[in-house]
Amino acid sequence: MVTFKINGQVVKAPEGTTILEAAKKMGIEIPTFCYDSRLKPHGTCRICVVEVEKAKSLQAACSTPIAEGMSIWTESEPVVEARKEILNLLLSNHPLDCLTCDKSGNCTLQALCQKYNITGSTHQGQKSRYERDESNPFYYVDLNKCILCRKCVLVCSELQCSDAIGVADRGFASHITPPFEKDIEHSNCVSCGNCVAVCPTGALVPKRKEKFSYGEVQIVQTTCPYCGVGCQMELLVKNNKVVEVRPVFAKPNDGLLCVKGRFGFNFINHPDRLKKPLIKKNGTFVEATWEEAYQIIVDKIKEIKEKYGSDALAGLASARCTNEENYLMQKLFRAVIRTNNIDHCARLCHASTVAGLATTLGSGAMTNSIAEVLDADVIFVTGSNTTETHPVIGAKIRQAIRHNGAKLIVAEPRRIDLAKDADVFLQIKPGTNVALMNGLMSVILEEGLYDEDFIRNRTENFSELKKIITAFSAEKAAEICDVDVQDIRKAARIYAAGEKGAIYYAMGITQHSTGTQHVMSISNLALLCGNIGKEGVGVNPLRGQNNVQGACDMGALPNVYPGYQKVNSPEVQEKFEKAWGFKLSPNAGLTLPEMLEKAENNELKLLYIMGENPLVSDPDINHVRKALENLDFLVVQDIFLTETAQLADVILPAVSFAEKDGTFTNTERRVQLIQKAIKPIGDAKPDWVILMEIMDRLGYKKEYLHPSEIMEEIAAVTPQYGGINYFRIKQEGGLQWPCPTKDHPGTKYLHQGHFTRGKALFMAVDYQQPAENADEDYPLILTTGRILYQYHTRTMTGRVEGLNKKAPESYIEIHPETANKHKIEDGEIIRVISRRGAIFTKARVVDIVNKNIVFMPFHYAEGAANVLTNNTLDENCKIPELKVCAVKIEKIEI
């Protein structure tokens, strides 16, 4: 500890603390422009200068460490003089248009001029005359207001790791620009807006639809409604409209957001929002009162239940809705309707993770935390285009490489953006991950690189694994995956040599007819090298949607109650019967694909869909449509009239995340709050209210005044959530389950000391081919995925102008040679055909896919990739093989 004085006050602080940090701790404010706690101090702006007694000159507080006996003055006369002069100089080349400047009220330069009473510059000199760069749809760049603090450049290169902008030229001509003076739109910019968030002046400002000033907005902290990262953000609200979104400096995102979270909020107040319940009469929707809509639904539920039994009804809960709502949805079906026919779209994304990891480790969730990616020294990304689908985690992976020298292995069918950061990039054939993992393990076994102690003490069934792996080889893997065997060897050595090897994967692993095996083989690899149960390692499935983890936790699955407690266990059944006061069904319910199948066979009569759009998201859409049309009664509860909602008999208007309270559980098991920022649009109601009111009308009288009361009930029946309540979540910035008791701090990483299932289980698996392979008729393999600028079925992002400008339409990526063979030009509309259907889409000729592979994003209803995809299921967990199907392409002859 170092003893020193600030403004005459004696204090102690640990060695290495900077003057700025020490002052901040004491509540003494030192002004800054260029400082950002996440960056190394770079001392560019000098506004933080302080007087240090006996020092020759004023010192920059941000970069000067405290020393024993130091005496510091933060607002002495020379300090104030210096700061005034700096402001005076800055203003000599800064437009004084604060009255109309969008940044006014949120501008550090303005605030400091106010503080030091500077009204203008006394210096006369050259003025910058830059044209405003309006090319980006989400923000503009006005270099005339730039004070060259370089924070934007450093955030872009060191935190976001996009390197879109830099400082060019020198002296007075110095300015921030993308390379070669191009506009922002023609740079590497990914529109994350993280530079905009830190700009201390009006140089980088979000474009506005509504005029507002920062003084007149209310600010509400909430959780991002898009992917599973669960970024914390603030909604700025004026007149019941969300007018801007800003990142929050908290876990898990540390002040970073991606383009969707930051700029994709215009759907909230969009005119297309459903405002009244709709009832289909003679084929058209007619507005109705809530009472009318409820009456029809309740009558139908009763009628069908009576006529065909409870199992003729099913519900789809939603990974977009809160924990409380998912809990009520499954309770409605289990307790009130009395069937376990409840599922949701996790079936399509991580059902295989839940099944696979529950078998091998005992718990099917991300083992480690997002922040721990920075502790890893080897990162293995496979089946995930992380920088596009989980952008903030993608940025953190790059930070680990740039700042900590972590090594990166990428195994993907496409040369994704992360591939260029990789030490080894394996461009594998889609669906061959099991072969790759087995190949990697064979090298590790052959060369004795495995963790013997870990295997002996913490795992079982190693001999089984050894048998299968020794019968396999790296050469065989190379042949199956279509990669160089030396690269497999190199990757194996890198992964095994790492002290902390962390695997990140997503749907490239899970969405296969052998998805569960894929997940198990990843678990095998991690166990083999002892990479589970400590900080910075793990098997980390990246969950796709904001609350898909929570929806699973809440038991929106046909075989488990909340907390993964099995429905077919008599003790569990008894526990819930007691808790809910109803007789419950002992039989596991239908999975999502099974529901559709039964609907097609007339066995399922009523389906209640909350916040999902299977008519775009599910494989083989033609089949989905047939199934939904065959239902006796379809209820859809959503915020927009989705493709699926159009088939409904009754549509219930729900509210968006901005209009209600609740919790989402992110991919790292962190339960976080969403908070009501605006009043519901029209007559829309929060999903939990709708469900409560329907349950009430079905005879289950229980009134919750607030979602926090539902959470109390959840905590009482869900061991992992036992110690979680709203007060703690707010106090502690989210809580990571398992958190069994009120005094439990939550769990940063799983399986410390022992596995959830005791010892971890090696599950040796052989490689099996995908259900459909390329052949003469359908010579290409189609793989699908997500892109940065759209989200899922575009219900939300499709209503954000800027995002649509960035990614307006469906396309297919084709290798130049393949395109050439079919005489297809880049940008041409072509026909893509599979055994299940045909679509028109735009050709994008690129060499990031191999010759026999094509790729399509699945977001678009027009030219929908899922018309083509295969609905063959994984036997274990019923996940369809969305990632591999055989197609052919055709030029359209005119």
Partner 1 sequence: MSCNCQCSTDKKNDPRFQQLDEIIKQHKEQAGSLIPVLHKAQGIFGYLPEEVQIYIAEGLNVPLSEVYGVVSFYSLFTTVPRGKYVINVCLGTACYVKGSGRIMENLKKELGISVGETTEDGLFTLEGCRCIGACGLAPVLTVNDQVHGRLTEDDVPRLIRLYKLKEEQAS
State the residues that interact with partner 1 by CB under 8 A. Answer: 153, 156-157, 163-170, 177-180, 188, 415, 420, 816, 826, 845-848
- DSSP 3-state percent helix, strand, coil across the chain (nearest 5): 35, 20, 45
Closest to partner 1 by CB, 415 vs 891, is 415
Residue 802 CB neighbour total at 10 angstroms: 18
Least Å from the CB of residue 270 to partner 1:
35
Nearer to partner 1 by C-beta: 43 or 166? Answer: 166
Task: Tell whether the torsion through CA atoms of 221, 222, 226 and 230 is positive or negative.
Answer: positive
**Which is nearer to partner 1, 153 or 651 (by Cβ)?**
153
Say which amino acid occupies 285: F
CA 118 to each of CA 23, 30, 33, 631: distance values in angstroms, whole numbers, following the listed order = 24, 17, 16, 71
CB of 712 to partner 1, least distance (A): 51
Shortest Cβ distance from residue 163 to partner 1 (Å)?
Answer: 3
Which residue, 177 or 253, is less far from partner 1 as judged by CB? 177
Which is nearer to partner 1, 180 or 894 (by Cβ)? Answer: 180
Q: Cα–Cα distance between 268 and 829 in angstroms, integer?
A: 33
Q: Determine how β-strand 650-653 pairs with β-strand 378-382.
A: unpaired
* Closest CB 826 distance from partner 1, rounded Å: 7
Is the previous residue joined to 738 through a cis bond, with omega within 30 degrees of 0? yes
Strand partners, 833: 838, 888
Q: CA-CA distance, 119 to 112, in Å (whole number)?
A: 11
Rg (Cα) of the chain, in Å, rounded? 29
Please state the closest distance from residue 689 (CB atom) to partner 1, in A.
Answer: 49
Buried b (16+ CB within 10 A) or exposed e, 726-738: bebbeeeebbbbb
- Per-residue b or e along 427-453, where b marks 16 or more CB atoms closer than 10 Å to that residue's CB: bbbbbbbbbbbbbbbbbbbeeebbbee
The residue (of 449 and 848) whose beta carbon lies closer to partner 1 is: 848
Phi, psi of 834 (to 5 degrees): -125, 180
Of 224 and 812, CB closest to partner 1: 812
- 761 contacts: CB under 8 Å, gap ≥ 6: 359, 360, 361, 459, 460, 461
Question: How many helices (H) and strands (E) in the chain?
Answer: 29, 37
Cβ proximity to partner 1, 422 vs 488, nearer residue: 422
Q: CB of 390: closest distance to partner 1 in angstroms?
A: 21
Cα of first residue to Cα of last residue in the chain, in angstroms, is: 80
Rounded to the nearest 10 degrees, the angle between the axes of helix 108-115 and helix 77-91 is 130
CB 525 within 8 A of CB 488: no
**CB 168, min distance to partner 1, A:** 4
Of 181 and 306, the one with the shorter C-beta distance to partner 1 is 181
Min dist CB 65 to partner 1, Å, is: 25
How many CB atoms are located within 10 Å of the residue 423 CB?
Answer: 15
Q: Check if the beta carbon of residue 650 is closer than 8 Å to that of residue 278.
A: yes
Instruction: Please state, in angstroms and rounded to a whole number, the distance separating the CA atoms of residues 12 and 854.
Output: 62
Question: Is the CB of residue 33 less than 8 Å from the CB of residue 109?
Answer: yes
Q: For 474, list phi and psi in degrees, rounded to 5.
A: -60, -35
What is the nearest approach in angstroms of partner 1 to the Cβ of residue 847? Answer: 7
Tokens found for residue 285: 């929707």
Residue with Cβ nearer partner 1 (182 or 805): 182
Nearer to partner 1, 710 or 845 (CB): 845
Q: Looking at beta carbons only, is 401 or 729 nearer to partner 1? A: 401
Nearer to partner 1, 280 or 822 (CB): 822
Output DSSP code: residue 310: G
Hey, what's the torsion of the CAs at 117, 123, 126, 128, to 10 degrees?
Answer: -10
Residue whose CB is less far from partner 1, 424 or 735 = 424
- The set of long-range contacts for 567-571, using a CB threshold of 8 Å and a minimum separation of 24, is 567/340
Closest CB to partner 1 among 220 and 787?
Answer: 787
Give the 3-state secondary structure of residue 713.
helix
Q: How far apart are CA 36 and CA 20, in angstroms?
A: 11
Nearer to partner 1, 168 or 250 (CB): 168
* Minimum CB–partner distance for residue 816 and partner 1 (Å): 7
Query: Which of 171, 448 has the CB closer to partner 1?
Result: 171
* DSSP E strands, 421-550: 424-426, 459-460, 501-505, 538-541
Return all residues near 323 (Cβ < 8 A) that are at least 6 apart.
547, 550, 551, 553, 554, 662, 663, 664, 665, 671, 711, 714
Nearer to partner 1, 421 or 659 (CB): 421
CA pseudo-torsion sign 754, 755, 761, 762: negative
- Residues 745, 747, 748: CA angle, nearest 5 degrees: 115
Measured CA to CA in angstroms, residue 42 lies from 48, 55, 256, 817 at distances of 12, 20, 20, 48
Facing residues of 539 across strands? 503
Q: Nearest approach, Cβ of 165 to partner 1 (angstroms)?
A: 6
What minimum distance in Å lies between the beta carbon of 422 and partner 1? Answer: 12
DSSP-derived 3-state class of residue 642: coil
Q: Token pair of 52, please?
A: 């240090």
Both structure tokens of 432: 């061959």
